Amino acid sequence: MAEKVLTVEERTEKGSSASRRARHEGIIPAVVYGHEAPRHILVNAREFRAVFKHISESEIVTLKLGKKKIQVLVKDYQADMIKGNLIHLDFYEIEAGKTVKTNVALHIVGTPAEVRQGGILEAPLHELEIECLPKDLPESIEVDVSDLDTASAMHVGDIKAPEGVKILTNEDQLIAAVTFAKEEVEETDEEAEDEAVAETEPETEE
């Protein structure tokens, strides 16, 4: 994975008026949290969009602040509800030898046979909370549901975590299950009942 680098500036002016001026000039106010006092910085919006096509909490980015280089994760962000433009960013500083807790995307791959036959794949979980060293941080975790059927379900506890990664999400949380539409189930039950009645009805002589 290519290293993500952002050149940032120290933020000297604070307050809502200064923030509005910065945004008008294409700059995003941001804060870096970590082992020292929070750092208030400014991030070029165009450069940020070029580095992050999609904002992810599991991608390490290096902030170049003057002569300093700070490795961080994106922890939170705020966007304009109408235009969708970013208006604030929160970063969290990480250290090479210390574990971090963050969320990674959960990618479902494969298609169960019963889904091809009209079943519905329910996959309510889209990310996992994990803990690991920065060097072991995965971009995402992938699970294959090809063998899933209506008699089984996949939960977080069924995932084999990547080496060096501890999954913190509750192991009983559902990842995927196959179901059929209620109408189809009722129709099948009715057909079964009709067949059973037909088999038990005595034949009448004319």
The sign of the CA dihedral 122, 129, 68, 13 is positive
Position 191 pLDDT exceeds 70: no
How far is Cα 102 from Cα 95, in angstroms, rounded to an integer?
Answer: 14
Question: Each residue of 97-139: pLDDT tens digit?
Answer: 999 999 999 999 999 999 999 899 999 999 999 999 999 999 8
What is the average pLDDT value for the chain, to the nearest integer?
Answer: 87
Residue 53 CB neighbours (<10 A):
7
Question: Each residue of 89-98: pLDDT tens digit?
Answer: 999 999 989 9
The band of 196, judged by pLDDT with boundaries at 50, 70 and 90, is low
In order, the DSSP letters of 35-78 are SSSPEEEEEEHHHHHHH-SS--TT--EEEEETTEEEEEEEEEEE
- CB-based contacts of 48, cutoff 8 Å, min separation 6: 6, 28, 86, 89
Question: Each residue of 11-44: pLDDT tens digit?
Answer: 988 888 999 899 999 999 999 998 788 999 999 9
pTM of the model: 0.75
Classify domain 4-94 by CATH architecture. Answer: Beta Barrel (2.40)
Residue holding tokens 């005595």? 202
- CB-based contacts of 74, cutoff 8 Å, min separation 6: 52, 55, 56, 57, 59, 61, 89, 90, 91
How far is Cα 169 from Cα 153, in angstroms, rounded to an integer?
Answer: 17
- For the 101-200 domain, the top CATH level (class) is mainly beta
Spans of all domains in the chain: 4-94, 101-200
Of 149-153, 168-172, 188-192, which gets the smallest average pLDDT? 188-192
Position 7 pLDDT exceeds 90: yes
Position 47 pLDDT exceeds 90: yes
